[in-house]
A and B are shown apart, each in its own frame.
Chain A
Amino acid sequence: MITRSAPRVLVLVLMFLAACAAFLTIAPPAAHAADTTAITVIVIDESSKRVPDVAIAVTADGFTEQTITTDEKGAATISLPAGSTYTFTADVDSLPAGAPGFVDNPKIVDVQGIPTTVRFDVGEPQAAQASESAGASETASEPATVTPGDDGSTGATDMGTQITQKVLSGLVFGLILALASIGVSLIYGTTGLNNFAHGEMVTFGGFVAFTATSSFAVGSWAGLVIALILGAVLGWLQDLGIWKPLRRKGVGLIPIMIVSIGLSLLLRYVFAFVWSPGRYTMDQDFSPLISIFGVGLTYWNVMGSVVSIVLIVAVAYVLNYTQIGKATRAVADNKPLAAASGINVDRVIRVVWIGSGALAAIAGVLIAYYQTISFQSGASILLLIFAATTLGGLGTTYGALIGSLLLSLIIELSTFFIPTSLKYVVAMLIMILILLVRPQGLLGKKQRVG
């Protein structure tokens, strides 16, 4: 039964992949073909502010020493021949007076043809041990963009500012997370699928914007729009090529979920293949645009939140006041009933995929501005998305929004009590706890069991 219309599905899947690959290969990143690799060095102080004018010496066997100095954005770039191990030594004396030194200095980096960012943190020096390898580490890099506005003070900021800063980071990131979560929630609501490949739709958006702005010199807002359109196309193609045929065949939800896992792996490494497994920083202005209670927000912090809020309001409007939105809610509520009352369920699901793809892509662009973009960006927030939708209530749109904001705030604020490296653990624990005590989530209805 499963193999009946199999060839058709295969053809569609392959067409989809070919379309994807075709798009990706017309937009190769600049740093791709060269034998040398661009390494970006950034220096960040204890309050997450970029530090300019730091001198960094780069040495390696058989390589003449070079010194680079960070610019006003706290970044410096150097092109290095690939295939060797380089030592990056930051000059403590070039730091502003009173700075304690670097947490981890020097850094040893294995350069393998992958554009990489080397990050120096200002702080009490630790026993040198951690070496940053050019391979991909899975955890997302720390956002370095929400910064205290009061310049100059590199010492500990006061508690109030710290709380404000974390709350703001939490909100900014929570809104981005909500864009992705709403899509997951809508897809789950209308199809019952836990889409494991959603993270890749996020990553896709980030890379589209990155490529558009860096390789094609498109403006950042145009990049955002291009990402939105291509994200929508990706969602549409996915539904057309994979999910719809599988639904047609009556394949169960669990196999479909496993297909989404496979797709997630496939897409993730297609991205790594095309864009190399490095981290890329979007070209943006890191100086504070506005300041809230002494905490500065960059242009993209502010605009990211604005874009998110506008899109979320738009989604709410569509769901509540338009024909297709009402149909979507009807399908999510009771699919057979909706179908019986003349709603074109396939069309609703297609629209949901298109919309979710677009929202996810925008989330990806905003994450790229908020942190960096790498082939793992989406995958590394996938579980956060699941946690947020679980918290709010799987399948409920507002639940996804509330869940994302709450989760993001909680994990940001949790860093007051636990090491930052464990903040995702908090998210996972919340998710598990919610499933145990209130599996329908904060806003979800109790499911009919049995």
Chain B
Amino acid sequence: MVNDTTRPALHIGEAVPGCKKIDPIIIADNVTRKFGGMTAVDVPHIEVPRNAITALIGPNGAGKTTLFNLLTGFDVPNTGEWSFNGETISGKSAYKVAQRGQVRTFQLTKSLALLSVLDNMKLGATNQRGEGLLHALLPWTWKAQEAEVEAKAVELLARFKLDTKKDDYAASLSGGQRKLLEMARALMSDPTLVMLDEPMAGVNPALTQSLLGHIVDLKAQGMTVLFVEHDMHMVQTIADWVIVMAEGKIVAEGEPSVVMQDQAVVDAYLGSNKDRDLGELVAEIKREVAAGADPALAGDDLSLEKE
């Protein structure tokens, strides 16, 4: 299933930057965001396919996080309109966007340090009666729902192997565990679209494996995933579709195996970022692409997925 060569087509026509999708969940037009004289994002058209895993890649400073911020209402664009699930959400505040089922995580993890892991999770649940001021004063009106929320939280925590930590302060978690917690917390709301900003950054390889499994799992549950990632290996492994940004623009789009060979992608990485490490990274990607997918890894992921 991962890297399945027989997966259905996601796009209409040629796979060019800004191409149409068969079933888009996000359609954005003419999105620009300037910081002073610098244009951080300049996207004439972008569509994100539904029920697929889309990777947003690009060198540092390409504008990926800024685009995330704009789409989720955390930043205000200079121009642009977009819709989510057919409903225009540009200009809506962040919490309203989230309430519509489009939740995100942050590049710099935002675990709520002095709340317990369980409370972090519970905060993710939507439509909680006890979150209203008047109901809050009448515990019997929310106790039952609270129990349901807690059960769900514990279940999710177990899936993310955090259940033993549930009564600890989130502050006591490791960096990687916080990434897990933030993702699990986002899932408490049963979102339609999950947007993950570098979910793997700083996570050790062992955890990466299980995180990958979780992300693939989300798709299996009918969700759509849009994630930012620098680890090409991971992109290669789980993404159904890749969008490449450089200097604020979308420079390439397409299926992972195709995009990785695209000269524009290589240029995007090398052009604006000449340090050796990245060059090596790209070379490595090319080598991997040439060698085809790693069957051992694919097997690993499948086993995780079955859990």
A residues neighboring B (CB under 8 Å): 446, 449-450
A446 CA to B36 CA, complexed, in Å: 9
Bound: A450/B69 CA distance, A: 9
Q: CB of B74 within 8 A of chain A?
A: yes
Min CB distance, A126 to chain B, in Å?
49
Which A-chain residue is minimally distant from B36 (CB atoms)?
Answer: A446
Which residue of chain B has its CB nearest to the CB of A449? B75
Name B54-74 residues within 8 Å CB distance of A. 69, 74
* Shortest beta-carbon distance from B148 to chain A in Å: 33
Dominant secondary structure of chain A at its interface with chain B = loop
A263 CB to closest chain B CB, in angstroms?
27
Contacts of B35 in A (CB 8 A): 446
- Chosen A-B contacts, 6 in total, with CB atoms closer than 8 Å, are A446-B35, A446-B36, A449-B75, A450-B69, A450-B74, A450-B75
Nearest CB in chain B: distance from A102 CB, A: 56
**Set of chain A residues within 8 Å of B36, measured between Cβ atoms:** 446
Residue of B nearest to A445 (CB): B36
Chain B residues, CB < 8 A from A449: 75
A446 to B69, CA, bound (A): 17
| Chain B: minimal CB distance from A384 (Å) | 31
Interface size class for chain B?
Answer: under 10
A213 vs B129: C-alpha distance in the bound complex, in angstroms? Answer: 69
Interface membership of chain B positions 11-41, coded 1 if the CB is closer than 8 angstroms to chain A and 0 otherwise? 0000000000000000000000001100000
Rounded to whole Å, the gap between the CB of A403 and the closest CB of chain B is 22
Given the complex of chains A and B, what is the CA–CA distance between A446 and B34 in angstroms?
A: 12
Nearest-neighbour CB distance to chain B for A48, whole angstroms, equals 47
What is the CB-to-nearest-CB distance from A254 to chain B, in angstroms, rounded to a whole number? 14
How far is it, in angstroms, between the C-alpha of A449 and the C-alpha of B36 when the chains are bound?
Answer: 14
For B69-100 the 0/1 string (1 means CB < 8 A from A) is 10000110000000000000000000000000
Docked pose: A446 CA to B35 CA in angstroms: 9
- B75: chain A residues within 8 A (beta carbon): 449-450
Contact residues in B for A450 (Cβ distance below 8 Å)? 69, 74-75
A450 to B94, CA, bound (A): 13
In the assembled complex, how far is the CB of residue A287 from the closest CB belonging to chain B, in whole angstroms? Answer: 53
Which residues does chain A contribute within 8 Å of B69, judged by CB atoms?
450
| Shortest Cβ distance from residue B197 to the other chain A in the assembled complex, whole angstroms | 12
A333 to chain B, nearest CB (A): 14
B 254-268 to A, binary, CB cutoff 8 A, 1 in contact else 0: 000000000000000
Beta-carbon contacts of B147-176 to A below 8 Å, as 1s and 0s?
Answer: 000000000000000000000000000000
CA distance A449 to B74 in the complex (A): 10
B77 CB to closest chain A CB, in angstroms?
Answer: 14
Instruction: Give the top 6 A-B pairs by smallest Cβ distance, nearest first.
Output: A450-B74, A450-B69, A450-B75, A446-B36, A449-B75, A446-B35
Question: How far apart are A152's CB and chain B's nearest CB, in angstroms?
Answer: 59
Smallest beta-carbon distance A168→chain B, Å:
39
**Nearest Cβ distance between residue B114 and chain A, in whole angstroms?**
13
Cβ–Cβ < 8 Å partners of B74 in chain A: 450
A449 to B75 alpha-carbon distance, docked (Å): 9
Chain A, residue nearest B65 (CB): A450
How far in angstroms is the closest Cβ of chain A from B94? 10
Contacts of A446 in B (CB 8 A): 35-36
Q: How far is the CA of A450 from the CA of B197 in the complex (A)?
A: 14
Distance in angstroms between the alpha carbons of A103 and B102 in the assembled complex: 68
Q: Which partner residue on chain B sits nearest A448 by CB separation?
A: B35
Task: Report the bound CA distance from A450 to B75 in whole Å.
Answer: 9
Give min CB distance, A362 to chain B, whole Å: 36
Bound complex: CA A446 to CA B75 (Å): 14
Closest to B108 in A: A450
A312 to chain B, nearest CB (A): 28
Q: How far is the CA of A89 from the CA of B75 in the complex (A)?
A: 66
Measured CA separation A450–B74 after assembly (Å): 9
CB distance from A93 to the nearest CB of B (A): 68
How distant is the Cα of A446 from the Cα of B33 in the complex, in angstroms?
14
A439 smallest CB distance to B (angstroms): 15
Chain A proximity of B243: nearest CB distance (Å) = 22
Bound CA–CA A450/B36 (angstroms): 16
CB distance from B161 to the nearest CB of A (A): 28
Tell me, in angstroms, the Cα distance from A331 to B10 when the chains sit together: 50
CB distance from A273 to the nearest CB of B (A): 39
